[in-house]
């Protein structure tokens, strides 16, 4: 039986969940509060740290470095040193800044993830006047070398979102929320090049009235996609383009999803409570919470830390 439990504290724009399998803790961010949270399911204790300088859209531990995390701050990629307890980081070192030259100063980073080799990928989006209403085609998708230098892979993105890789590392799945689809690229793991872009799951054809947001992949090769304004995560088969099942959460702005727990068979789903009306807030008292879901009948892979030089 599927069971859904709200955890930790609420957020305005909860995002970027990362399950640290070694430590058995969940990291996630609140983009609009510029905070990084750490939640330990065993004790149910949540701690958080506030970062100065702009919205923080992702948090991923640095491989082999205790208390170091790759984060984004506005258009900057940075390494934060944090003991997991203090309300301020002990250090934030900027590694690089994207979109500097071409008048895109208002962009900010959004979703990002390390590929199975530990290479970071992250995308940007233009300024948002209200949730999912943005200046279109202002964002890009970047990958980063192990010293943090960006490389532009895709341009003209509206809201850069979900990323996932097939277990054979031959396919990269990708979401631009305003395309209302999940797309795939052929992925060259050595060179980091992507090609042959195509749609593998179409939200409109499947009558899903929501924005595709963050996603993850299970050990059967199916994708779990958070549906912003849909209050759900869907499981889709990217090979057949079919919708397989749905997990409902009591928060309409569902933003991202990862597998976690001791057996990697639980889902952690982040959500937002961004400009919801008074009525919606009353109807959804758990809007903005993160949810732990058990009994979904699928398993994920351990997530990869970022490898830096």
Q: Give least dist CB 247 to ligand BGC, A.
A: 17
- Is there binding between residue 123 and Ca ion (CB under 5 A)? no
Q: Which is nearer to ligand BGC, 169 or 199 (CB)?
A: 199
Q: Given the rule CB under 5 A, which of 43-51, 126-134, 211-219, 296-304 is the region that contacts Ca ion? A: 211-219
Q: How long, in residues, is the chain?
A: 309
Out of Ca ion, ligand BGC, none, which partner does residue 11 contact, by CB within 5 to 8 A per kind? none
Instruction: Give how many residues touch ligand BGC by CB under 6 A.
Output: 15
- Is there binding between residue 253 and Ca ion (CB under 5 A)? no
Residue with tokens 């799945």: 173
Q: What are phi and psi of 177, to 5 degrees?
A: -50, -35
CB 82 within 8 A of CB 67: yes
Q: Give least dist CB 132 to ligand BGC, A.
A: 4
Q: How far apart are CA 204 and CA 162, in angstroms?
A: 18
Catalytic site residue from 100, 213, 218, 265 = 213
- Is there binding between residue 131 and ligand BGC (CB under 6 A)? yes
Residue with tokens 């009948």: 297
Distance of CA 167 to the CA centre of its chain: 19
What 3-state DSSP class applies to 206? Answer: coil
Out of Ca ion, ligand BGC, none, which partner does residue 228 contact, by CB within 5 to 8 A per kind? ligand BGC
- Is there binding between residue 254 and ligand BGC (CB under 6 A)? no
Distance of CA 92 to the CA centre of its chain: 21
On the CB side of 306, CA atoms within 13 Å amount to 28
Question: Which burial class, exposed, middle or buried, applies to 282 when counting CB atoms under 10 A from its CB (0-12, 13-18, 19+)?
Answer: exposed
Out of Ca ion, ligand BGC, none, which partner does residue 67 contact, by CB within 5 to 8 A per kind? none
- Tell me the β-bridge partners of 183: 174, 199
- For 127, other C-beta atoms within 10 Å of its C-beta total 13
CB 150 within 8 A of CB 77: yes
Out of Ca ion, ligand BGC, none, which partner does residue 122 contact, by CB within 5 to 8 A per kind? none
* Member of 161, 171, 254, 274 binding Ca ion (CB under 5 A): 161
Chain residues 147-176 in contact with ligand BGC, contact rule CB under 6 A: 159, 161
Out of Ca ion, ligand BGC, none, which partner does residue 192 contact, by CB within 5 to 8 A per kind? none
Q: Given the rule CB under 6 A, which of 41-49, 127-135, 141-149, 235-243 is the region that contacts ligand BGC? A: 127-135
Q: Give least dist CB 201 to ligand BGC, A.
A: 16
Out of Ca ion, ligand BGC, none, which partner does residue 159 contact, by CB within 5 to 8 A per kind? ligand BGC
**What's 302's DSSP letter?**
P
Closest CA to 25 of 39, 8, 46, 43: 39
Q: Which is nearer to ligand BGC, 163 or 267 (CB)?
A: 163
Q: Is 111 part of the annotated catalytic residue set? A: no
* Member of 30, 99, 176, 213 binding Ca ion (CB under 5 A): 213
- Is there binding between residue 233 and ligand BGC (CB under 6 A)? no
Dihedral (C-alpha) 25, 31, 36, 42: value to the nearest 10 degrees? Answer: -30
What 3-state DSSP class applies to 177? Answer: helix
Catalytic residue numbers, as ranges: 213
Query: Rule CB under 6 A: which residues touch ligand BGC?
Result: 13, 15, 31, 110-111, 128, 131-132, 159, 161, 177, 211, 213, 228, 255
């Amino acid at each position: 039986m599927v069971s859904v439990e709200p955890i930790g504290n609420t957020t305005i724009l909860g995002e970027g969940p990362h399950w640290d399998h070694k430590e058995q803790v969940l990291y996630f961010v609140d983009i609009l509060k510029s905070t990084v949270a750490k939640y330990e399911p065993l004790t149910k204790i949540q701690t958080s740290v506030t970062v100065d300088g702009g919205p923080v859209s992702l948090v991923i531990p640095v491989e082999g470095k205790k208390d170091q995390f790759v984060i984004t701050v506005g258009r900057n990629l940075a390494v934060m040193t944090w003991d997991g307890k203090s309300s301020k980081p002990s250090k934030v070192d900027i590694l690089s800044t994207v979109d500097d030259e071409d008048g895109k100063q208002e962009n900010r980073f959004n979703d990002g993830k390390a590929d199975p080799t530990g290479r970071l990928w992250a995308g940007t989006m233009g300024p948002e006047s209200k949730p999912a209403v943005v200046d279109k085609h202002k964002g890009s998708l970047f990958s980063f070398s192990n010293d943090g230098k960006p490389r532009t892979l895709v341009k003209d993105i509206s809201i850069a979102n979900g990323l996932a890789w097939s277990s054979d590392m031959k396919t990269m799945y990708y979401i631009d929320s305003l395309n209302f689809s999940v797309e795939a690229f052929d992925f060259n793991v050595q060179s980091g090049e992507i090609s042959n872009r195509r749609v593998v799951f179409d939200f409109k054809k499947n009558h899903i009235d929501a924005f595709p947001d963050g996603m993850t992949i299970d050990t059967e090769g199916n994708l779990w996609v958070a549906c912003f304004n849909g209050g759900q995560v869907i499981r889709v088969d990217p090979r057949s383009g079919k919708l397989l099942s749905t997990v409902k959460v009591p928060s309409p702005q569902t933003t991202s999803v990862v597998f976690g727990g001791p057996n990697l068979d639980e889902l952690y789903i982040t959500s937002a409570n961004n400009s919801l009306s008074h009525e919606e807030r009353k109807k959804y008292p758990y809007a903005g919470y993160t949810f732990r879901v058990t009994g979904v009948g699928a398993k994920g892979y351990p997530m990869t830390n970022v490898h830096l030089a």
